[in-house]
Structure 1
Amino acid sequence: MNVIEVKNLRKEFKSYSSRSGLSGAFRDLLTRNYKVLAAVDNISLNVKQGEMVGYIGENGAGKSTTIKMLTGILTPTSGSVIVNGMDPHKQREEFVRTIGVVFGQRSQLWWDIAVQESFRLLKKVYRVSDEDYKNHMGHVIETLDIGPLLDKPVRKLSLGQRMRCELAAALIHNPPLLFLDEPTIGLDVLVKLKIRKFLKEINETYKTTILLTTHDLTDIEALCERVVLLDEGKIIYDGKLAELQTDAVEGKEVEFQFLNETNRIDLPDSARIDWKQKDATTWIANVDGDERVVSELISAVVHRNLIKNVRINEISTEEIIRKIYEEGMTTS
């Protein structure tokens, strides 16, 4: 069952430019120069129930615009959007009861009243019964450790405290679909770990579908099996994170620490190996190949030199995605 079904989705904006000088200002009063920009450019996407999907891209790639169309905030220029079996724009009142949304830089809590009062107001808005609220929110409040914060005004909370309360507020009606747009922006490591643990728990317990946009790729690695990469409004990759890590960039980094000072002449030559010296006794080999090539390299180096330590470093997800964007921008 698909929770999200998107086909040929497109969102265009007009970008106006001003003419220079006084005469240009007068001309702008009569006619304006503009060009049409596609923030989201004919994308198609399906998300199944219970999936946790990382929706990532550079600034301006179209992530937030997509989320706003999926949640009914923006109307698409063209294409179709079906979320939870409804059109977010035509069935808005019914639709919003089936989703939860957290925007990292915007608040759905009232600034000057206590957190629990905001929760009560949202409970009324979503028509949640007292029993459902008590059973579900009791667990949410305990897991996110926000009990001591409930009687405090939102304006007196730290960023980490507020974001945990924002997440709880989005889950008051226990929605089957949760949109998270930069939910951990600016948070410290401990708060991030707490939020990640909680998201995994609700996904496992309630089969909550989660669409996550973030620049923090450790969030993606910790939570999402599937990633969708967006570049200039187009999807350039949609698949499993593990396959992206395996196939998108071939090769590994092997760091050799020798017992004695070692020169480049003492290391094996190959067109598939790029050597870089870290210090007098440490060299790093960037290997273009699979485990067999790495094994042959280590064997050849050990045969010639006395080794103190060898470490094989997988190329990071961040580095993989950086290379995809560098290459994709010339090919997409």
Structure 2
Amino acid sequence: MADHTRPSDHAYLSDHTRPTDPARPADHAGDRAPAPGAPAPRAPAVSGAPAVSGASAADDAFICLEGVEKVFDVRRRTGLLRREKHQVRAVDTLSFTVRRGEVVGYIGPNGAGKSTTIKMLTGILTPSGGRLRVAGIDPARERARLARRIGVVFGQRTTLWWDLPLVDSYRLIRRMYRIPDDTYRANLDRCVELLELADLLDVPVRQLSLGQRMRGDIAAALLHDPDVLYLDEPTIGLDVVSKARVRRFLRDLNTRRGTTVLLTTHDLTDIEQLCHRVMVIDHGRLMYDGPLAGLHESGASERTLVVDLEREMPPIDTGGAARVVRTEGPRQWLAFPAGRSAAPLVARIAADYPLVDLSVREPDIEAVIAEMYAGRPTARPAS
């Protein structure tokens, strides 16, 4: 087995996944994981908003960033043998908090600073400035201790041993984290059932499909009962069935166990189905932080009222309350601001026109995000 598990042979020990691999078990009692049957206290998740009435200040700032910055030195070629050093500000005075038990979508275009933020939260990268805490722990200073509180899944890298059966990877993770047998068995059984892994446990990881491997990675990240789960593109490249399984499992995980989830993804269906709060980042700055519904108003998007009339008629006149964007026989499409109620508009049309049927279509979230990106500010160079 030693030949199969050398650290140099596997991507799971790259900088993307080291935080979930505490290579040096804690030597101090204060760093040890909670004893079985005594997990870290969690606020119960509530459908819609996991916040708990009367929650402590610690819960309100379970993940806390205050003015966090990350600057990289990049060398660019300026001649045949000459290179100049430039600084790139990947994260720019970023501040936010995440409460215990929240499921938060963290989205933005490529290069916005999402993955850099996750790497600082897991201790892979050290911030260039500002203050960062996860469960009261400084990730850069106490990586091994933090590793017992977090789970990490990077969609394009695996934490599993490539040549070993899936179950052997789980056994090795149990040894690394010193997970008690009863806790390990209970968590493994739950993940196997909900992620439908029973038929895959004896299959070498290299023979798994992308969707199967992703489900295996998510299970691996949860065997040690983390308080926080970071998901970086967890459904990338997955088919519709695999995506549905992963989303269903994550909803169950948050509802039953109150696990805090920070999700970065380009698949906005993940955000719509899993998250009640969304943060939009661009050029390392926070552009929006609030409920998913508020994105429509922030992006100045429009809802669409589809009106079916008894017969074909000229474009409907609403006195400026809406604009007709399309007509097709007796059917007309009218656009109006997403933040405005449709009731007055519907009442006016019903009073003035021979109405047969109507429906209201909400704005496409992808169009809202694209509109926000289109108006984004120019990147600020590092000082």
Same fold (TM over 0.5): yes
Among candidates 59, 66, 73, match of residue 117 of structure 2? 66
Per-residue CA deviations over 1:251-277 (Å, capped at 9, x if unaligned) read 42111233433333xx21533422122
Write the letter of the residue equivalent to 2:211: G
Could you tell me which of 166, 177, 195 is aligned with 2:217?
A: 166
Q: Which residue of 2 aligns with 1:313?
A: 361
Would you tell me which structure has more helix in proportion to its own residues? 1
Which amino acid in 2 is paired with 1:170? A
Kept after mapping to 1: 8 A contact 2:105/2:264: yes
**Cα distance between partner residues in 2 of 1:42 and 1:87:** 17
Aligned with residue 8 of structure 1, among 51, 61, 67? 67
- The amino acid across from 1:320 in the alignment is V
Q: Which is worse superposed, 98-107 or 1-10?
A: 1-10
TM-score by length of 1: 0.90
Q: Return closer, same or farther for 1:298/1:330 CA change in 2, 3 Å cut-off.
A: farther
Q: Which moved more, 1:104-113 or 1:282-291?
A: 282-291
Aligned CA RMSD, in angstroms, stands at 2.1
Separation in structure 1 between the aligned mates of residue 99 and residue 318 of structure 2, nearest angstrom: 48
CA deviation profile, 1:187-229 (whole Å, cap 9, x unmatched):
1222222211211212122211110001111111111111111
3-state SS of the aligned residue for 1:42? strand
Give 2:275's aligned residue.
224
Structure 1 range deviating more: 274-283 or 103-112: 274-283
Quote the residue 2:312 is aligned against.
Answer: 261
1:25 paired to 2:77: no
Q: Deviations over 1:221-240 (max 9, x none)?
A: 11111111101100011122
2:89 is aligned, of 38, 47, 62, to 38
Task: State the shift of 1:114 in Å.
Answer: 0.4
Corresponding residue to 1:276 among 310, 320, 325: 325
Once residues 379 and 200 of structure 2 are traced to their aligned partners in structure 1, the CA distance between those partners, rounded to angstroms, is: 50
Equivalent AA in structure 2 for residue 232 of structure 1: H
Tell me if structure 2 keeps the 8 A contact 1:272–1:289: no
* 1:60 aligned partner, one-letter code: G
Contact 1:17 1:34 (8 Å CA) reproduced: yes
Aligned residues: 321
Separation in 1, partners of 2:111, 2:331: 40
Following TM superposition, by how much is the alpha carbon of 1:173 offset from its aligned partner in structure 2, in angstroms?
A: 0.4
SS at match of 2:62: strand
Structure 1 unpaired stretches of 5+ = none
Q: Which SS does the other structure have where 1:244 is aligned?
A: helix
Contact 2:64 2:134 in 1 (8 A): yes
* Counterpart position of 1:57: 108
* Moved beyond 4 Å, runs of 4+: 289-292
Partner of 2:4: none
- Residue identity in the other structure for 2:143: R
| Alpha-carbon spacing, 1:25–1:40, altered in 2? closer, same or farther (3 Å) | same
d(CA) in 2 for partners of 1:320, 1:79: 31
Higher strand share: 1
The whole-number CA distance in structure 2 between the counterparts of 1:201 and 1:301 is 44
Distance 2:346 2:379 in 1: 35
Contact preservation (8 Å) 2:303, 2:360: yes
Tell me the SS of whatever aligns to 1:128: coil
CA pair 296-331 structure 1, distance change in 2 beyond 3 A: farther
Whichever residue aligns with residue 16 of structure 1, its letter is: R
Residue 187, structure 1, aligned to residue 238, structure 2: yes
Note closer, same or farther for the CA distance 1:331–1:157 as it changes in structure 2 (3 Å cut). Answer: closer
Contact preservation (8 Å) 1:10, 1:76: yes
**Aligned partner of 1:68: which letter?**
K
What SS does structure 2 have at the residue aligned with 1:329?
coil
